[in-house]
Chains A and B, each alone.
Chain A
Amino acid sequence: MSFRVALYEGDGAQPFEDAQRSAILRGLLDKGYRVSSIRKGGTVAGANEGSVLVLGRFGDGVPANAADGSIPVQFHNVDGMDAPAITALVEQGRAATAAPEPGKWKPWFPVIDYSRCTNCMQCLSFCLFEVYGVSKDHKIQVQNETNCKTECPACSRVCPEVAILFPKYRHSPINGDEVNSDDMRREAMKVDISALLGGDIYAALRDRSAKSKSRFSKERDEERAIKERQNCLVKLSKEAGIPPEVFASLPSPEEILVKAEAAKLRAQGALEKAEQAGLEKVAPSS
């Protein structure tokens, strides 16, 4: 259920001073509220669900609470109130509805640029947190946004077509900036590196895991093993821009391999179904 605020300055209400209008808008936006600034003329999006709180300098003529179809509309006179008091009033108004408190989740999740995506399913087979899924028409899609680990752009780095964006990421082109030829050269290098590892990063991981187990069983040096693992994670963290918290939340190596295998099978299954359905793999953009 959504909750929306309308700052009304049309007929029947006095206008706000410019500075006050800005302060009210900024205060509400920073708390995560959507606000329509309604002036004489112009248009704003209408409400189609949830509830609406209309704030205005109505004087003695506060309109009675009403309903726009099934949407309850409440009016409040805010004449003489400053911006923090208005924000507090809105917080109370929201709490009285079933609308969730805004701002509880940093919206960090991948967004697919389908003009570049070739439906190769590498992101699906790579992600261990089941962020990706497959649509009814066998296309890759982001299905569980809130499963994504904040600040982690790792899946965008395995995408050979630079088709995965994280709009809140710092650097180009993962942040949504246009992709240039240098970016594509880097992506080509990334794929070549993957090919050098045998084309399957998880197979390489499994191989390394088996080799290291054999070596550690000979050396029997647990402290050294932990130190090496930490060094490896620090290096990955720096090179791929993956926050240490993501590594801290990873399951054990054995669980990772099981999850990776399951994700790989899902990706293979989706690709087979797509082929059966006659869905051609989209040619990469130039």
Chain B
Amino acid sequence: MKRLVYCNCSFARVLAPEVKSRVLDGLAASGVAFDAVPDLCEMSARKDPALVQIAEGDVTIAACYPRAVRWLFAAAGAPLDAERAKILNMRSDSPESVLASLLPSAEESHA
């Protein structure tokens, strides 16, 4: 089963509020289970064990630049598998394109 993770980047204003809002609304209305985290940076700094769980298996993460996300996970001792982890960039991509990439993944999570 594929896991979906949404990062709200709650503690900084680097993601456009309308992008975050539309992606979160789209996920919430999609009818699939997902994890919403306030801030992956904060979790990485705390070495949150939840990151290890997230990094296990197939996962799609809606957050920011893939290079940043990969090394945040690595810094927490939870390296992402390049083949099994997909990272979507809400900092540069439109909410429509992020959701279009997330929701096919979500369909797989029902399989």
Binding site for B on A (CB under 8 A): 2, 4, 18, 21-22, 25-26, 29-39, 41-46, 48-49, 102-103, 105-109, 111-114, 142, 145-146, 165, 167-168, 170, 175-178
Contact = CB atoms under 8 A, between A and B. Distances in A.
B8 A29 contact: yes
B48 A44 contact: no
A30 B34 CA distance: 17
Given A32-B10, A146-B45, A176-B68, 12 more contacts: A29-B36, A30-B8, A34-B37, A41-B110, A42-B109, A42-B110, A43-B1, A102-B38, A108-B12, A111-B71, A114-B74, A165-B67
A130 to B, nearest CB: 15
Nearest to B9: A168
Contacts of A37: 27-28, 33-36
Interface of B: 1, 3-4, 8-12, 14, 21, 24-25, 27-29, 31-39, 41-42, 44-45, 48-50, 53-54, 64-69, 71-72, 74-75, 91-92, 106, 109-110
Contact of B106 (A26, A42, A107): A42
Contacts of A45: 3, 35, 50, 53-54
Contacts of B41: 107-109, 167-168
A-side interface mostly: loop
Nearest to A145: B45
Given A29-B36, A45-B3, A107 B45 contact: yes
B33 A43 contact: yes
Contacts of A170: 14
B107 to A, nearest CB: 10
A273 to B, nearest CB: 22
A104 to B, nearest CB: 9
A49 B67 contact: no
Contacts of A48: 49-50, 53
A175 B14 contact: yes
13 contacts: A21-B29, A22-B24, A32-B11, A32-B38, A42-B34, A43-B33, A107-B11, A107-B41, A111-B72, A111-B75, A168-B9, A170-B14, A176-B69
Q: In the complex, which of the residues A29, A35, A38, A114 has the most CB atoms of chain B within 10 Å of its own CB atom?
A: A29
A108 B32 CA distance: 32
A142 B72 CA distance: 11
B33 A106 contact: no
A42 B32 contact: yes
Q: In the complex, which of the residues B1, B25, B37, B67 has the most CB atoms of chain A within 10 Å of its own CB atom?
A: B67
A168 B97 CA distance: 22
A142 B45 CA distance: 9
Nearest to B49: A48
Nearest to A146: B45
B41 to A, nearest CB: 4
B48 A2 contact: yes
A35 B12 CA distance: 19
A106 B13 CA distance: 11
A29 B38 contact: yes
Given A2-B50, A26-B21, A111-B68, A41 B45 contact: no
Contact of A33 (B38, B66, B67): B38
B69 A25 contact: no
Contact of B71 (A22, A25, A112, A177): A112
